[in-house]
Structure 1
Amino acid sequence: MTTVVIPNYNGLVYLKDCLEALEQQTYKDFEILVVDNGSTDGSIEYVANYYKSIRLIALDKNYGFTGAVNRGIKATDNEFVVLLNNDTIPAVDWLEALVKCIVSHADAFSCCSKMMQVQDENIIDDAGDGYTVFGWAYKGYDGASAEKANKTRAITSCCAGAAIYRRSIFNQIGYLNDDFFAYLEDVDLSLRAMRAGYKHYFCHDALLTHIGSATSGSKYNDFKVRISARNSVWVYQMNIAKWLKVINSLPYILGISVKFFAFKRWGFGNAYLAGIREGFKNKPSREYCQQIQGSISVRTDWFLYLSMWKDTFAYIKMKMEMKRIFGGYQK
């Protein structure tokens, strides 16, 4: 059996379409668990009154994406856990495709969906995430036409907005890091799993549409830029071995510099610098990493670093094809 965990914070306007789409799924062996982050827009009452079969966890305040989904994961003992954003509308066979994908890949910790833009369902929003030597994470094929991502493949990271996970592996590598609150927490989790020897896959036939930035309100704002910048430092500091940081110091410094000047041009330079400073000054909890130290080796770290270079070239190719110079992991 599978549990679909939907974190929600004042997302009543999106919940109806998402929940109705889940009711139409061809795969039936699943339950829905909505974890609400202290909403004040009637979300809790709506779910409680109109969806009696849905499990509901109503939290006392906003614990962020990480806090909500961690509580959801811990509240189930089913074999598979699906994390799903409330601003998505899954196709009828979406969940069936995800379950088939992870079952067919015994080495997989997670498999992610083919997320399409709600404004144009022929344009990709996310088709598996990458992580570059610049310390940037990015959405695969973001803005490209649907046919660009038409096969299942191994990837570096799964977007937790629509992905399936083997629940038992959380016990080994830890949960999403609560200190992240939101943004890049899924990249941190994915890199941690890779260092423990697990893989991630993009499932091309697990289709859904995604509005994007529904909770944060906009693609860029001071809060989102600052938190994303802070978390980007944490992802790098916690998952890249010390000796690799030395080797990769120049690309990493270049990555921070390029992003700063880009955000400065867009009016968010101060927010970006504040996040970078906070990331280096304040360290997140390391209890998650400590659980997997025994399985980390020079070989796994080299494999991760080679994957970063592969993703770097893929990112550059993608941007050149789309005639964009700059972009990043902004949900």
Structure 2
Amino acid sequence: MSEVPNPLVSIIILNYNAGKLLLNCVESVIKTNYSNLEIVVVDNASKDQSHLICKEKFAKIRLVENKENLGYCEGNNVGIRQANGEFVVILNPDTIVSPNWLAEIFSAYKKNGDGLYQPKILSLYENNVIQSTGNMLHLFGFGFARDKGVPNSNQRNEIEQIGYASGTCLFTSMNVIKKIGLLDSFLFLYHDDLDLGWRAAQIGIKSYYVPNSVIYHAESYSLKWSSKKFFWLERNRRYCLLTHYSKDTYKKMQSSLILVEMMVWLFYLSKGFLGAKIRVELDMIKNKNQIANKYNEIESKKIIPDKELIKLFPDEIFVPKNVSGKAGSKTFNTILSLLSKRAKRSILS
């Protein structure tokens, strides 16, 4: 744990055609009531000139221009490699931070030590509506934001351990990054934070939710809900399942997982995204060597066995209203919960 009163914090903001959102984000970070920070804007070959406008308006920021779109993961990795701080924050460009957001996270860090931290995330456009009070990891690889869409009434007002810290705003130390490793560039975007938090948990590094640190998020300014977004979410969910569980664990849960996969196929069919799901399966075959190599790497570093982590996984997930109706979500969760409990009994026995 750092003993420097106000250690340098590097704020990494990855930009890709974020327009005025980027300017608003940087302006809010500058107003943070923590003085010892550097702002590193990494641009993924934007065509809207937002990064250049930002640099012109805020001369003190450090601008790193990638020659091509490297995706969320490698784009942020570029920023982390450029960072000079003892601590680092990955921050989306479609966010506005409150003045004391960073001080509150540091307060939590001083109590809990090295880990991955996220603030309370509220909607930028919906008044007092929650986007996340901590992200959670499900047995079958689904990641979800807790309390999403729920009115904010100061519920969950204690610092607590969560499944993984949201990549919308993720605080950690460079020391932790060195232990866990950088974001997995193969993922490109989506579930990158889930993967990072899962890898962290496997080596005994916890993730935390800090309720008194508050930011506001526009959410999905680039892809919205689309076939392309569903492809990345499902492709990376499958990748994480195949790389994070030991072969023994995967074998024990496979019968339940087959039924889950049938449900996912039906879901994609109902949404008109069947082509995206087919592309996912073809991508898994195409990248089997990448998957095998990542599996071996994770297994070699794993300290905490699957059984211990699985005990903490919730049996249900949250499905946003704009993805599935209330009745559909309830039915899905009922079946999912039964299958999760069944798989856990097999694994933990």
The equivalent residue for 1:137 is: 143
TM-align CA RMSD: 2.4
Matched, 1:296 2:299: no
CA contact (8 A) 2:23 2:54 kept: no
2:268 corresponds to 1:279: no
How much does 1:43 deviate? 1.5
Does the CA-based 8 Å contact 1:9-1:37 persist in structure 2? yes
2:18 to 6, 11, 18: 11
Note the C-alpha offset of 1:175.
0.7
Give the Cα–Cα distance (whole angstroms) in 2 for the partners of residues 247 and 181 of structure 1.
30
Which residue number in structure 2 is paired with residue 113 of structure 1? 119
Residue correspondence of structure 1 range 142-161 to structure 2 within 5 A: 142-147=148-153, 148-161=155-168
Secondary structure in 1 matching 2:309: helix
> Residues 244 and 299 of structure 2 are in contact (CA less than 8 Å); yes or no, is this contact kept in structure 1?
no
C-alpha separation in 1, matches of 2:159 and 2:255: 33
What is residue 127 of structure 1 aligned with on the other side? 133
| Alignment match, 1:252 | 257
Aligned residues: 319
Which among 303, 306, 313 is matched to residue 311 of structure 2? Answer: 306
Could you list the per-position Cα deviations for residues 265-304 of structure 1 after superposition, in whole angstroms to 9, with x for gaps in the alignment? Answer: 121122123213423541446776666645524x532111
Whether the aligned pair in 2 keeps the contact of 1:226 and 1:273 (CA below 8 Å) is no
* Counterpart-to-counterpart distance in 1, 2:46 and 2:130: 30
Give the distance between the partners of 2:141 and 2:256, measured in 1 at CA: 8
Q: Distance in 2 between matches of 1:5 and 1:268?
A: 33
What is residue 181 of structure 1 aligned with on the other side?
188
Structure 1 letter corresponding to 2:127? E
SS at match of 1:111: strand
User: Using the alignment, how far apart are the partners of 2:212 and 2:50 within structure 1?
Assistant: 30
Over the matched positions of the two proteins, sequence identity in percent amounts to: 24
Is 2:239 aligned against 1:242? no
Q: CA–CA distance in 1 between the matches of 2:298 and 2:191?
A: 20
CA contact (8 A) 1:110 1:200 kept: yes
Counterpart for residue 42 of structure 1? 49
CA contact (8 A) 2:159 2:209 kept: yes
Query: How far is the alpha carbon of 1:33 from its aligned partner?
Result: 0.4
State the 1:222 CA deviation: 1.7
Judge which range, 173-182 or 142-151, deviates more. Answer: 142-151
Q: Higher relative contact order at CA 8 Å, sep ≥6: structure 1 or structure 2? A: 1
Aligned counterparts of 2:81 and 2:293: Cα–Cα separation in 1: 17
**2:207 aligned residue:** 200
Between structure 1 and structure 2, the one with the greater Rg is: 2
Deviation of residue 100 (structure 1)? 2.0
Name the counterpart of 1:84. Answer: 91
After TM superposition, give the deviation of residue 243 of structure 1 in Å.
1.0
Letter in 2 for 1:252: L
